[in-house]
Amino acid sequence: MSKAFTKESDAADPDDDDSPSLPAIPKGSRNYMTPAGYARLRSEFMQLLDVERPKIVETVSWAAKNGDRSENGDYLYGKKRLREIDRRLRFLTKRLDIAEVVDPSAHYGSDQVFFGATVTYADGKGVERTITIKGIDESDSLAGEVSWVSPIARTLLKAREGDELQLVTPVGVETIEVIEVSYPAPVKA
């Protein structure tokens, strides 16, 4: 019999490992967003629906009246762009439907890490990094923003200033210390 179909009884069971692991992502969790992130997605949705799509529909309609559609670049490109816009609109509709807007300023003054926090932490070598925990659809790693489901954010969530945590990385487990936690100030109406 081939070894591919036999179970090695001497191999270590991966579940027996006592090393730290990432906290589980909640099943059926909502699409958390900051108010600014929600506004950006909603703005993109409305721009596509009210401005771009009608403009492309008009171009395709005009191009269709010009005769042979098989060699009509305006018609072919317009139909392709229309499919792209419709696909993006469907995606945005689904994301906005499950969105749960969370205002990070509600935690202003707290030293515990929640969604929307800006956290400064130091790694084992003393190198400090600052990140802001945002929603999946709004995080921008180049701006120091991470998704709330990223390994660093999941490790930091619910920690407090001064806590030492075990961050699971592809290289191994790294100890990090939370230096500072801040939130945007509430907007006064």
Strands 118-122 and 31-33: unpaired
Helices 73-97 and 53-64: angle between axes, nearest 10 degrees: 150
**Stated length of the chain:** 189
3-state helix, strand, coil in the chain (%, to 5): 40, 20, 40
Whether pTM exceeds 0.75: no
Going along the chain from its start, the domains and CATH numbers come out as 31-101 (1.10.287.180), 104-182 (3.10.50.30)
Q: How confident is the model at residue 172 (pLDDT cuts 50, 70, 90)?
A: confident
The Cα 92–Cα 27 span in angstroms is: 21
Tokens 């659809």 belong to: 137
Question: Could you give the CA distance from residue 19 to residue 172 in angstroms, rounded to a whole number?
Answer: 10
The H or E element containing residue 91 is helix 73-97
Q: How does pLDDT run across 121-165, given as a tens digit for each residue?
A: 998 888 999 999 999 888 888 999 999 989 999 999 999 998 899
H-helix or E-strand spanning residue 53 = helix 53-64
Provide, rounded to the nearest whole percent, the portion of the chain with pLDDT above 90: 43
Tens of pLDDT, residue by residue over 23-57, are 455 566 678 899 999 999 999 999 999 999 999 99
Asked if 186 and 170 touch (Cβ cutoff 8 Å), the reply is no
Residue 10 has pLDDT above 50, yes or no: no
pLDDT of residue 66: 80
- One-letter amino acid at 63 equals A
- Is the Cβ–Cβ distance between 99 and 45 less than 8 Å? no
Per-residue pLDDT of 82-102, as tens digits, reads 999 999 999 999 888 888 898
Q: Which helix (H) or strand (E) element contains residue 45?
A: helix 35-47
Helices (H), the chain: 35-47, 53-64, 73-97, 151-156
Q: Is 139 helix (H, G, I), strand (E, B) or coil?
A: coil
